[in-house]
Amino acid sequence: MKREFLEGLDLGDGAKLSKESIEAIMAEHGKTKTALDNQITALTTERDTLNTQLGEANEAIKGFEKLDVDGIKTKAAEWETKYNTDTQALKDQLAAKEYEYSVNGAVTGLKFTSESARKAFVADLTAKKLPVQEGKLLGLEDFVKTYKESDPHAFAEDDGEPAPHVVSKTSGGNTGGAGAVLRAAFGLPTSEKEL
Tell me, what's the pLDDT at 106?
80
Q: 3-class secondary structure for 152-186?
A: HHHECCCCCCCCCCCCCCCCCCCCCHHHHHHHHHC
Question: Considering Cα of 109, then 111, then 115, then 116, what sign does the dihedral take?
Answer: negative
Distance CA 133, CA 144 (A): 18
| Burial of 106 from C-beta contacts in 10 A (0-12 / 13-18 / 19+) | buried
pLDDT of residue 166: 46
Q: Residue 176 — pLDDT band, cuts 50, 70, 90?
A: low
Average pLDDT in the chain: 79
Burial class of residue 6 (count of CB atoms within 10 Å of its CB; 0-12, 13-18, 19+)? middle
Q: Which residue has the higher pLDDT, 113 or 190?
A: 113
Question: What per-residue confidence (pLDDT) applies to 165?
Answer: 46
List strand residue ranges (DSSP E) for 15-126, in order.
none
Length of the chain: 195
Q: What is the DSSP letter of 113?
A: S
| Cα end-to-end span (Å), the chain | 64
Check residues 78 and 14 and name the one with the higher pLDDT.
78
pTM, rounded to two decimals = 0.44
- Summarised one tens digit per residue, pLDDT across range 8-45 is 877 788 888 888 888 888 888 888 888 888 889 988 99
Q: Is the pLDDT of residue 180 over 80?
A: no
pLDDT value at residue 13: 82
More confident residue, 180 or 169: 180
Q: Is the separation of the CB atoms in 113 and 78 below 8 Å?
A: no
Flag whether pLDDT at 52 surpasses 60: yes
